[in-house]
Amino acid sequence: MKKNEFLWGGSIAAHQCEGAWNKDGKGVAIMDLVTQGSYETPRKICQTIESDNYYPSHDGIDFYHRYKEDIALFAEMGFKALRISIDWSRIYPNGDEEEANQLGIQFYQNVVDELLKNKIIPIVTLYHFEMPIHLVREYGSWTSRKVVDFYLKYCETMFEALKGKVHYWVTFNEMNHIDPQTEASDIFTYIIAGLKYTEMENKKQTLATISYNMTLASVKAVKIARRIDPVNQVGCVFGLTPAYPLNCDPQNVMNSLKETDRECYQIDAMCMGKFPEYKLKEYSAQGIELEISKADQQAFEEGKIDFIGLNYYSSSVAHYEGDDNNEETLFGGVQNPYLEQSKWGWAIDPIGLRYMLNYIYRRYGLPIIITENGLGAVDQLEVNGSIQDDYRIEYVQKHIEQMEKAIVEDYVDCFGYLMWGPIDLVSATTGEMKKRYGFIYVDKNDDQTGTLERKKKKSFEWYQEIITQNPTFS
Ligand code: BG6
């Protein structure tokens, strides 16, 4: 990377794009059991693959076989970086094997080689909602310390396999939605940990244990990454949503502080060198117990992250007295009447990105990379085959403007912008293809028709121009 070069690019995740769900020794992962849903109909989480259901991760957009073509398109746009994720179940199909699956490793080595050949820096997420289902069924997922050890073994395998080629690592994507203090939906807890909220026996205790073990796994992975290659930079990605106060009523301001803050305790743990005291006191006041050994404490001290990845899509209004009839947002809080929403009810708030960048930077002082940001929208194929996605251009442009203000006017150290889903892929929350994010269109529909052909949308050239015009912000 050239000095001060800004990491323009995009982010994708294995289970949403690869397909080939049972090829080359891959095991069954948690998302392979989740059906297609829609905005109105939640995705169904199944015990087995049912023949009358469709499971979008099984085919994805066939990145597994088309990655060269897709990477060539990213390179044509001028990408400096691409964030991919590794599907754990390709490497250790059940999660607890002695030996890794060489074909799985080979696939990621090939993808990384292809990126480097195209002068694109790989940023690799080790866990983006991809866990072998066997670890859930046999060990209870992240409630078990054994799973922490399996994860670390898997991380070590990948640090070794991609040594010298990958220097930016992300331990987890969005573990922050696991919070014992709030009611959760089945799909959120399942996506992150393979467990349904409604089926958890002691919900608060279970969520606290899962969250603690994942946080511990992250700090331990950081240490291993550094031991294997001291040049490794390791971060963790959080999906954060500012929850604004309804007005200046001090109670509403306090609610806003608490709701925005509530998903930061794991970041505190990863940056401050210990699991935060305030969280432990909160737990013990509620009868939640965590076993924290001396070795754990040391792991927190030694495994501080190097950077923070920020996924930002939307903002909300913190709950307030009398808000019972207001529409709840997916991320907590209620809808903001000042903001327009996407077709999936996600409020569009570019200033919220500047707000969140400031909030995180001032709290932690660590470099930040925007690891996801984008608009899920229905695209229309014109008669001439073009896709005029001006709404996407407008969304990304306005967010980039706010990011620039954060960098130039507020002096936030933000070293990259990775747009989510630079190529259309399966939506995580709904499983649809119709909810498209890409600068590149993929001919695949929710009724499973389509040729999988890739097409450039209008936004493709627009983003290419943005990258060319803005090599740095300093
Ligand atoms: C992020 C996830 O929270 O949101 C991605 O990290 C996901 O995996 C993205 O795709 C957008 O959500 P959705 O449901 O529109 O795909």
Give exposure, 277-289, as e/b (b: 16+ Cβ within 10 Å).
eebbeebeeeebe
Q: Is the pLDDT of residue 4 over 90?
A: no
Residue 373 C-alpha to ligand 1 middle, in angstroms? 9
Catalytic residue among 174, 259, 372, 432: 372
| Residue of 15, 348, 427, 433 best suited for mutating to test ligand 1, as the one with most atoms within 8 Å of CB | 427
Residue 17 lies in a domain: yes
Q: Is the pLDDT reported for residue 161 higher than 70? A: yes
The answer to whether 309 touches 234, Cβ cutoff 8 Å, is no
Segment 151-179 shows an average pLDDT of 97
In this model, does residue 2 exceed pLDDT 70? no
**Cα-to-centroid distance, 291 and ligand 1 (Å):** 32
Look at ligand 1, atom 10, and give the residue with the nearest C-alpha.
Answer: 428
Q: Is 372 a catalytic residue?
A: yes
Given this model, what pLDDT does residue 3 score?
A: 56
Whether 35 maps to a domain, the answer reads yes
**Complex ipTM:** 0.99
Q: Which domain holds residue 431?
A: 7-469
Beta bridge partners of 423: 440
- Give a yes or no: residue 1 inside a domain: no
Task: Tell me the mean pLDDT in the region 151-158.
Answer: 98
Residue nearest to atom 8 of ligand 1 (CA): 428
In the predicted model, what is the mean pLDDT of residues 312-328?
90
Quick one: what percent of the chain has pLDDT higher than 90? 93
Buried b (16+ CB within 10 A) or exposed e, 306-336: bbbbbbbbbbbbbbbeebeebeebbbbbbbb
Ligand 1 neighbourhood includes 130 CB (under 6 angstroms)? no
- Whether 119 is covered by a domain: the verdict is yes
Which of 11, 372, 378, 424 is the best mutation target for the ligand 1 pocket, counting ligand atoms within 8 Å of the beta carbon and taking the most?
372
From the alpha carbon of 174, which atom of ligand 1 is closest?
A: 6
Is residue 277 situated within a structural domain?
yes
Confidence band of 75 (pLDDT split at 50, 70, 90): very high
**Distance from residue 284's CA to the centre of ligand 1 (Å):** 33
When pLDDT is averaged across residues 195-214 and rounded to a whole number, the result is 96
* 358 CA from centroid of ligand 1 (Å): 23
Q: What is the CATH number of the domain that holds 101?
A: 3.20.20.80
- Residue 2, in any domain of the structure: no
Per-residue pLDDT reduced to its tens digit, 226-275? 999 999 999 999 999 999 999 999 999 999 999 999 999 999 999 999 99
Separation of CA 187 and ligand 1 centre (Å): 12
* Count of domains forming the chain: 1
Q: Does residue 57's CB lie within 6 angstroms of at least one atom of ligand 1? A: no
* Residue 83 forms part of a structural domain: yes
List of residues 6+ apart from 237 with CB closer than 8 A: 125, 170, 172, 173, 174, 308, 309, 310, 311, 371, 372
Q: From the CA of 276, how far away is ligand 1's center (Å)?
A: 28
Atom of ligand 1 nearest to the CA of 437: 15
pTM: 0.97
Instruction: Look at residue 416 in the predicted model and tell me its pLDDT.
Output: 98
Q: How far apart are CA 437 and CA 16, in angstroms?
A: 12
Residue 328 placed within a domain: yes
Kindly give the number of the ligand 1 atom that is closest to the alpha carbon of 430: 14
Nearest to 401 by CA among 456, 448, 367, 357: 357
- Which among 198, 239, 192, 241 is positioned nearest to 217, based on CA atoms? 192
